[in-house]
Amino acid sequence: MRLKGEIHNPCYDEEEEKVAEENGRELNSIVGVGISPPPKLVVGYALTSKKKKSFLQPKLLGLARNMGIFFISIDLNRPLSDQGPFDVVLHKLAGKEWSEIIEDYRQKHPEVTVLDPPNAVQHLHNRQSMLQGVADLNLSDCHGRVGVPKQLIVTKDPLSIPNEVDKAGLKLPLVAKPLLVDGSAKSHELFLAYDQCSLSELEPPLVLQEFVNHGGVLFKVYIVGEAIKVVRRFSLPNISKRELEKLAGVFRFPRVSCAAASADDADLDPSIAELPERPLLENLARQLRQRLGLRLFNVDMIREHGTKDVFYVIDINYFPGYGKMPDYEHIFTDFLLSLVQSKHKKRPAT
Ligand SMILES: Nc1ncnc2c1ncn2[C@@H]1O[C@H](COP(=O)(O)OP(=O)(O)OP(=O)(O)O)[C@@H](O)[C@H]1O
Ligand SMILES: O=P(O)(O)O[C@H]1[C@H](OP(=O)(O)O)[C@@H](OP(=O)(O)O)[C@@H](O)[C@@H](O)[C@@H]1OP(=O)(O)O
Ligand SMILES: [Mg+2]
Ligand SMILES: [Mg+2]
């Protein structure tokens, strides 16, 4: 017998199919034979193949299985309500159609924890709404200040950009980022602009953000429910005044901070590498969690070079590359189990 939600999905590669089948087979035998206790938690997932590979690693699946957590692939060709039953649905897929499906499912199945609500995820698909409100967070008394670099949104007419930048008082160099983040490679194509005239070469819609010197180190703050994990990553080096005077043009740069190579073990200047203080991160994460209505995201933070505690949030990502987060399998399984526990707590005693 096959479990509901396990019918062949053409998006699968063979390895993924095997993982899901193994999970399902085991779940069946546990439920059917009745030797082991029933699974505590069934997690349905709808993820891209890239995400399945990086997230559903054997170390996560193995630990989860031992804890009674089973991951089942959602079949995108069948109605979601016919699959499961799930306790949790994990999802990251692009497109309006999927958002509507998952929102409809959420409304009809309030007993299922959908991670995360599509309208909240949507908020991060636009680099303007993504950072809205970060500067207003109340982080006083909290071991540092957190802001957003000065930025300008350009939606049309590239020829007007130099003038708009001038009017807005934005200082060069600028980082140009596509306004919309839709999971495509194009939405991660970023440029550094060294002079005002060349800005008209850029393709709106985009965000122009002041480049903040930060010593070439970035802090990735991963959030999984209540848990926070921060890692250092390599980033763009400082740009000196001299360099700025010498250079003109817009230059595309690669995805520097996405590389799995962490800067955690590098021999770095301590004033640059020192992690933001824990109370600051806890406060930031708590407020962002509330404000965004999300439980799975990460925040890219930089420290203004030459300061001890002036930070900027430059990017927030939904369901980021947790596979690269140290200890992610324990953090994730603990989080999933905490969802069942909080559900039980909410249930009225009979
Ligand atoms: N305002 C800024 N000042 C200095 N460096 C910046 C700034 N904005 C971006 N960067 C650098 O460019 C990189 C990419 O920027 P950003 O994180 O906004 O793009 P992204 O495509 O959303 O990245 P991700 O892969 O994390 O989703 C950052 O990791 C950082 O190294
Ligand atoms: O590529 P990875 O798996 O590492 O994860 C990256 C993730 O890609 P994926 O969701 O397709 O996996 C990106 O998502 P989209 O914006 O493109 O939707 C974004 O969240 C990055 O910030 C993540 O890198 P990290 O911030 O964790 O270093
Ligand atoms: Mg980023
Ligand atoms: Mg991003």
The domains of the chain, with CATH numbers, are 41-116 (3.40.50.11370), 123-318 (3.30.470.20)
At 54, which amino acid appears?
S
**In 3-state terms, what secondary structure has residue 77?**
coil
Beta strand pairing status for 174-178 and 151-154?
unpaired
Locus of tokens 């649905």: 89
Cα separation, 83 vs 105, in Å, equals 11
* pTM for the structure as a whole: 0.90
pLDDT in tens, the chain (350 residues): 223 333 233 333 444 445 444 444 444 433 333 444 567 899 999 999 999 999 999 999 999 999 999 999 999 999 999 999 999 999 999 999 999 999 999 999 999 999 999 999 999 999 999 999 898 888 876 789 999 999 999 999 999 999 999 999 999 999 999 999 999 999 999 999 999 999 999 999 999 999 999 999 999 999 999 999 999 999 999 999 999 999 999 999 988 888 877 777 778 899 999 999 999 999 999 999 999 999 999 999 999 999 999 999 999 999 999 999 999 999 999 999 999 877 766 655 54
Distance set, CA 176 to CA 140, 171, 208 (Å): 30, 13, 5
* Rounded distance from Cα 163 to ligand 2 centre (Å): 34
Cα separation, 139 vs 37, in Å, equals 45
- Beta-carbon neighbours within 5 Å of ion ligand 3: 300, 315
Q: Residues 319, 325, 329, 333: is their CA dihedral positive or negative? A: negative
* Rounded distance from Cα 60 to ligand 2 centre (Å): 18
Alpha-helical regions (H) of the chain: 14-33, 49-55, 58-66, 96-108, 118-122, 127-131, 161-168, 241-246, 270-273, 278-292, 328-346
Cα separation, 167 vs 161, in Å, equals 10
Cα separation, 159 vs 308, in Å, equals 39
Residues 108, 226, 336: CA angle, nearest 5 degrees: 50
Running DSSP on this structure, what letter comes out for residue 24?
A: H
* Rounded distance from Cα 201 to ligand 1 centre (Å): 20
Q: Give the up-direction half-sphere exposure of residue 267: CA atoms within 13 A in the CB hemisphere.
A: 0
- Asked if residue 212 has its Cβ within 6 Å of ligand 1, the reply is yes
Roughly how many angstroms between the first and final C-alpha of the chain, as a whole number? 35
Q: Which of 258, 264, 297, 315 to mutate to test the pocket of ligand 2 (most atoms within 8 A of CB)?
A: 258
Neighbour count for residue 273 (Cβ, 10 Å): 17
Residues composing the chain: 350
